[in-house]
A and B are shown apart, each in its own frame.
Chain A
Amino acid sequence: QSALTQPASVSGSLGQSITISCTGTSSDVGGYNYVSWYQQHPGRAPKLMIFDVTDRPSGVSNRFSGSKSGNTASLTISGLQAEDEAEYYCSSYTSTITVVFGGGTKLTVL
């Protein structure tokens, strides 16, 4: 099972918006509405930010939003803050009845 494709890095200035893409296939991202996004700061466990493509867990800022079009899911962060600087991972259910993760995207807040 190949990892989902994410850009290695993205950057944005304080207050701006950025979008991170997560591209898979019709056997994973495109075939199911089970895409999640995780934020990971160095030395910490990942934190769930988005699930089921668009839903936010309780306590996660509404600056974080998710979407999907075809085989590509996206995470958008608006009003960038310094604490948003982290690694972001997507995941998706797959037709093999398992889950696949993206390779991760390093977000730098300028």
Chain B
Amino acid sequence: EVQLVESGGGLVQPGGSLRLSCSASGFTFSDYGLHWVRQAPGKGLEFISAINTDGDRTYYADSVKGRFTISRDNSRNTLFLQMSSLKIEDTALYYCVKDILVIQYWGQGAQVTVSS
């Protein structure tokens, strides 16, 4: 069974940093590109970042480009999202997903709240 478990969320002040982790199991981690999707309170879904299987190609939404960095450790089956220069509008539930075009598996998400 595919499992994706996000962690590392929390309350941070504007301008601060956080690092999210996503521990994956139930599939061959290194065979899949992975993605981060977020959902702000009462708002819709937003793709924010993607990384290929080897970790040498990454993509970012304009809203986070230059502030967020996606990475992965295939030896630990873990996906990361380093978030810096956080803004109030980054407040959201962050999900890691595989198969971004057909998202069958969702974790519980990691809540990130940016507030002073």
Considering only CB atoms, which chain B residue lies closest to A100 in the complex?
B47
Contact between chains at B100 and A99 (CB < 8 Å): yes
Q: Cβ of B2 < 8 Å from any Cβ of A?
A: no
Q: Known interface pairs A36-B103, A46-B103, A51-B102. Does A102 touch B61 (Cβ–Cβ under 8 Å)?
A: no
B50: chain A residues within 8 A (beta carbon):
98
Q: Cβ of A52 < 8 Å from any Cβ of B?
A: yes
Q: What is the bound-complex CA distance between A89 and B95, given in angstroms? A: 16
| Interface 1/0 per residue, A50-76 and B, CB below 8 Å | 011000010000000000000000000
A99: chain B residues within 8 A (beta carbon):
35, 47, 100-101
When A and B form their complex, what is the total count of cross-chain residue pairs whose Cβ atoms lie within 8 Å?
Answer: 51
Interface residues of B in 6-63 (CB under 8 A from A): 35, 43-47, 50, 59, 61-62
Q: Cβ of A86 < 8 Å from any Cβ of B?
A: no
Within the complex, the shortest CB–CB distance from B57 to chain A, in Å, comes to: 9
Within the complex, the shortest CB–CB distance from A57 to chain B, in Å, comes to: 6
Contact between chains at B101 and A101 (CB < 8 Å): no
Q: What is the bound-complex CA distance between A52 and B101, given in angstroms? A: 8
Contact between chains at B104 and A48 (CB < 8 Å): yes
